[in-house]
Amino acid sequence: MSRFHALIPAAGSGSRMGGIQPKQYLDLGGRPVIAHSFAALSRDTRIDRLVVVLSPGDAWWDGYDWSAWQERLHILRCGGVTRAETVLNGLEAMAGWCAADDWVLVHDAARPCLPAAALGRLLDEVASDAVGGLLAAPLADTLKRADADTRVEATVPRAGLWQAQTPQMFRHGQLRAALRTAGADMTDEASAIEQLGLRPKLVESDSRNLKVTYPQDLRLASLILEHLHD
Ligand code: C5P
Partnered with residue 103 across adjacent β-strands are 4, 171
| CA of 81, closest atom in ligand 1 | 21
26 lines ligand 1 (CB under 6 A): no
Residue range 91-134, pLDDT digits in tens: 999 999 999 999 999 999 999 999 999 999 999 999 999 999 99
Per-residue pLDDT at 19 exceeds 80: no
User: Of all protein residues, whose CA lies closest to atom 7 belonging to ligand 1?
Assistant: 108
pLDDT for position 215: 85
pLDDT bucket at 182, cuts 50 / 70 / 90: very high
CATH of region 4-227, choose from 3.40.190.10, 3.40.50.300, 3.90.550.10, 1.20.120.920: 3.90.550.10
- Angle, in degrees to the nearest 10, between helices 33-42 and 215-227: 40
Report the separation in Å between the CA atom of 153 and the middle of ligand 1, taken as the mean of its atom positions: 30
Amino acid (1-letter code) at residue 134: L
Q: What is the pLDDT of residue 20?
A: 81
Residues 192/174, Cβ–Cβ less than 8 Å: no
Give residue-wise pLDDT tens across range 159-175: 999 999 999 999 999 99
Q: How far apart are CA 131 and CA 144, in angstroms?
A: 32
Overall average pLDDT of the 15-41 stretch: 91
Q: State the pLDDT confidence band at 18, using cuts at 50, 70 and 90.
A: confident
d(CA 230, CA 212): 22
What is the pLDDT, as a whole number, of residue 36? Answer: 97
Residue whose CA lies nearest to ligand 1 atom number 19: 12
Residue 13 Cα, ligand 1 centroid: separation in angstroms?
7
Q: Quote the CA–CA distance of 58 and 132 in Å, as a whole number.
A: 31
Quote the mean pLDDT of the chain: 95
The HSE-up count of residue 179 (CA atoms within 13 Å, CB side) is: 26
* pLDDT tens by residue, 47-99: 999 999 999 999 999 999 999 998 899 999 999 999 999 999 999 999 999 99
**Main-chain phi, psi angles of 205, to 5 degrees:** -130, -165
For residue 87, the CA-to-ligand 1 centroid distance in Å is: 9
- Kindly give the distance from the C-alpha atom of residue 213 to the centroid of ligand 1, in angstroms, as a whole number: 10
Cβ of residue 11 lying under 6 Å from some atom of ligand 1 = yes
How many angstroms separate the CA atoms of 100 and 176, rounded? 9
Does ligand 1 come within 6 angstroms of the Cβ of 111?
A: no
The verdict on the CB of residue 23 being under 6 Å from ligand 1 is no
pLDDT at 207: 95
Q: Which atom of ligand 1 is nearest to the CA of 53?
A: 20
Entry pTM:
0.96
Strand pairing category for 152-156 and 143-146? antiparallel
What is the rounded average pLDDT of the residues 11-32?
Answer: 87
Backbone phi, psi, residue 216, to 5°: -65, -20
Neighbours of 78 (CB within 10 A): 16
Banded model confidence at residue 16, pLDDT cuts 50, 70, 90: confident
SS3 labels along the chain: CCCEEEEEEECCCCHHHCCCCCHHHCEECCEEHHHHHHHHHHCCCCEEEEEEEECCCCCCHHHCCCHHHCCCEEEECCCCCCHHHHHHHHHHHHCCCCCCCCEEEECCCCCCCCCHHHHHHHHHHHCCCCCEEEEEEECCCCEEEECCCCCEEEEECCCCCEEEEEEEEEEHHHHHHHHHHHCCCCCCHHHHHHCCCCCCEEEECCCCCCCCCCHHHHHHHHHHHHHCCC
Cβ(24) – ligand 1 distance below 6 Å: yes
* Calpha distance 7→10 (Å, rounded): 9
Q: What is the pLDDT of residue 229?
A: 77
Q: What is the pLDDT of residue 15?
A: 73
pLDDT at 106: 98
CB 110 near ligand 1, within 6 Å: yes
